[in-house]
Structure 1
Amino acid sequence: MPADQPVALILLNMGGPDSLAAVEPFLFNLFADRELIQLPAGGLLQKPFARLISHFRAKKVVENYRQIGGRSPLLEWTNKQAVGIAERLGERFRPYVIMRYWQPRAEQVLADIKAAGIQTAVVVSLYPHYTGATTGSSVNDFKKAAAAVHPELEYRLIEEWYDWPGYLDALANRVNEGLDAFHDLLRDEVQILFSAHALPQKFIDRGDPYQQHVEATVEQVMERVGYYDWSIAYQSRSGPVKWMEPGTEETIAQLAAAGHRALLMVPVSFVSDHIETLQEIDIEYRELAVRQGIVNFQRAPSLNDHADFLDAMAALVREHLRR
């Protein structure tokens, strides 16, 4: 990349509704993605299916968003991450964010980049662990839009970084911050539960490395943290398909049944707060844990815009630019 030319730093993420009214159209965009949900009948029924299921799911999901303030904070956090990483890379890097299922979408952002006269970009998936359902879909969406809107753009892709040392260090720091929330007399008893977003088992069976990546991340984080007992589970499972196991709800119940009373949950496949940390973990899983007898429940802070995480991502970009 020419040293005197501006570079777009583009972060790819899932997106989330920015109001309660946006929940149903957001869900439609999600369920209409054939890289995420593949109906046996092919693409013909995808949009009718997406309209139907988003309509019926919206009522419950609206209430979940209402519990966390009526909108997703994902865009706010992703913008902060983009700005923070770009600042660390130098003034020629210009921050941009593309969301897969809500605004700002790829076509809009690429048009802005083209209008700004920017001809080179670094594109970073904010999913550390690769699966075609998340990183694959977001990258394909970006490539399609780039070819249509800004075909002159030269870009480099960073699609997975589950074992990047700076990321592991930052996540280990969040785990230690979560442990610090327990009384000193309880710390030796704390069970650490890493919770990642579940995928339908068929994604793993077809060869997606997602589960291997999650397990490698957790093992290397715990090498940094130390001697605590830990386990991995998968959250956000819904619908009549076979999902990755074990489920987070079942694992919480099993830990409680085994007599454990202190639990630290660590969101591992998410790099910022959103509905699955703020509502699913902080409200639903906390209530479940208390009902099961776990009286000391904490969640490790999300990476969000912590300086060590932004330092790590800037270093990751520099490393890829050197190759």
Structure 2
Amino acid sequence: MDSEKPIGLVLLNMGGPDSLEAVEPFLYNLFSDRDLIQLPLGALLQKPFARMISHFRAKHVAENYRNIGGASPLLHWTGRQAEGIARELGEAFRPYVAMRYWHPTAEETLRRMAADGIERAVVVSMYPHYTGATTGSSVKDFRRTASRVYPELTFSVVEQWYDWPAYLDALAHQVNEGLNQFHELMRDGVQIFFSAHALPQKFIDRGDPYLEHVMETVRGVMERVGERPWHIGFQSRSGPVKWMEPGTEEVLDQLASDGHEAVLMVPISFVSDHIETLQEIDVEYRDHAHGRGIRSFGRSPSLNDHPLFISAMADLVRSNLEDGA
């Protein structure tokens, strides 16, 4: 850390379309990734299937992006996070972002790092909970691309941080901020509902630790928030495969059936606002909840570039460096 050479800080994330015209090619890139989605009939037909599915889904997905401003805010927030963490770490660090399914790609970022004279870097997955479908795919892509584009780069990778204490502190703070949205007379009855992105059940069955990591995060957050009723569900399920259960809609239905009228949604596997928070939770699940009789529906603020989260991630990087990375 005392070298005169700058140290790269690279945040890996999924990426999202930066315009409505980018929706279909973004979906094609996503559906082409066999680490994330294994379409039937094998690898040879993955790309033809991806082209067909992305074409047919693009119109509906583009309308969702239109509803949130016409583009994904994920690059904006991931860039802000990279800049904030690098600022906390000190002048020696240079921030970068590499997206899996849209720009800037790992190749674009690595070429920029080479041009900037970066010889050493810390690469951080912005998915707190490990699964081969997200962190695994992004890290594999970065390693593969680095070996081809910039083999001289020395880097370490932080793949998971689901139980990092300062991250749990920051998330618990956001949960309390969310609870404060409700009138004090009804706050004790608010049901805290953690919603994580679903995976096909076969990922869990093969030993993927994602569910275990998510549950550890929830337990760590609730230890900090205090004794309150909480629930967990899994969102963004689509297609004919068997998904993790229960689904977010099913949990909302059960809460309504049990007579609960106030729910706080907590997006647990996302660290910044994007389509799953701004459209799926804030619009679709809100409307679903209201339609079932849940009168008060709120969401805890996303971590985005909150100072507690930025500080937590800077400490995580320092710990990685101190461990001899």
- Name the structure 2 match of 1:270: 270
Cα offset, 1:40, TM superposition: 4.1
Pairing 1:77–2:95 present: no
Distance 2:251 2:300 in 1: 17
Report the residue type matching 2:275 in the other structure. I
Q: Secondary structure at the match of 1:161?
A: coil
For 1:58 and 1:2, the matched residues in 2 are separated by 48
The Cα offsets for residues 202-239 of structure 1, whole Å up to 9 and x where unpaired, read as 00000000000000000110000012100110000000
Question: Which residue does the alignment assign to 1:280?
Answer: 280
1:135 aligns with 2:135: yes
CA distance in 2, matches of 1:249, 1:20: 27
TM-score normalised to structure 2 length: 0.98
Do residues 312 (structure 1) and 299 (structure 2) align?
no
Matches of 1:38 and 1:283 in 2, distance apart?
Answer: 29
Give the 3-state SS of the residue equivalent to 2:175 in structure 1: helix
Cα deviations by residue, 1:131-183 (Å, 9 ceiling, x for unpaired): 00000000000001100110000001000000000000000000000000000
Q: RMSD in angstroms over aligned alpha carbons?
A: 0.7
Structure 1: which amino acid aligns with 2:120? Answer: T
* Partner-residue secondary structure (3-state), 1:265: strand
Shift of 1:2: 5.4
Flag structure 1 segments of 5+ consecutive residues without an equivalent.
Answer: none
Question: Is there any run of 5+ residues in structure 2 with no aligned partner, and where?
Answer: none
Separation in 2, partners of 1:41, 1:59: 26
Whole-Å separation in 2 of the counterparts to 1:140 and 1:41? 23
The equivalent of 1:210 in structure 2 is 210
CA–CA separation in structure 1 for the residues paired with 2:82 and 2:21: 27
Q: CA offsets, 1:10-57, max 9 Å, x none? A: 000000000111001000000000111123432100100000100111
Deviations 1:87-114 (A, max 9, x none): 0001010000000000000011100101
Residue 244 of structure 1: SS of its match in structure 2?
coil
Instruction: Report SS of the residue matched to 1:192.
Output: strand
C-alpha separation between the residues in 1 aligned to 2:26 and 2:71? 11
1:184 is aligned to 184
| CA–CA separation in structure 2 for the residues paired with 1:170 and 1:300 | 12
Aligned partner of 1:251 in structure 2 is: 251
- 1:154 maps to 2:127: no
Q: Secondary structure at the match of 1:8?
A: strand
Amino acid at match of 1:119: E
Tell which deviates more after alignment, 60-69 or 128-137: 60-69
The residue number in structure 2 matching 1:109 is: 109
Which amino acid is the alignment partner of residue 221 of structure 1? V
The 1-side partners of 2:297 and 2:108 are apart by 42
Offset from partner CA, 1:61-92 (integer Å, 9 cap, x none): 01111110110000000000000000000101
Q: Which runs of 4+ in 1 moved over 6 A?
A: none
Q: Provide the identity percentage.
A: 69
Q: 1:117: how far off?
A: 1.2
Matched, 1:260 2:249: no
SS in 1 for 2:161: coil
Distance in 2, Cα, partners of 1:277 & 1:133: 20
Q: Distance in 2 between matches of 1:30 and 1:122?
A: 25
Please give the alpha-carbon distance, in whole angstroms, between the structure 2 residues aligned to 1:239 and 1:43.
Answer: 18
Task: Write the letter of the residue equivalent to 1:135.
Answer: T
After superposition, where does 1:234-245 map in structure 2 within 5 Å?
234-245=234-245
Partner of 1:229: 229
Q: Distance in 1 between matches of 2:66 and 2:92?
A: 40
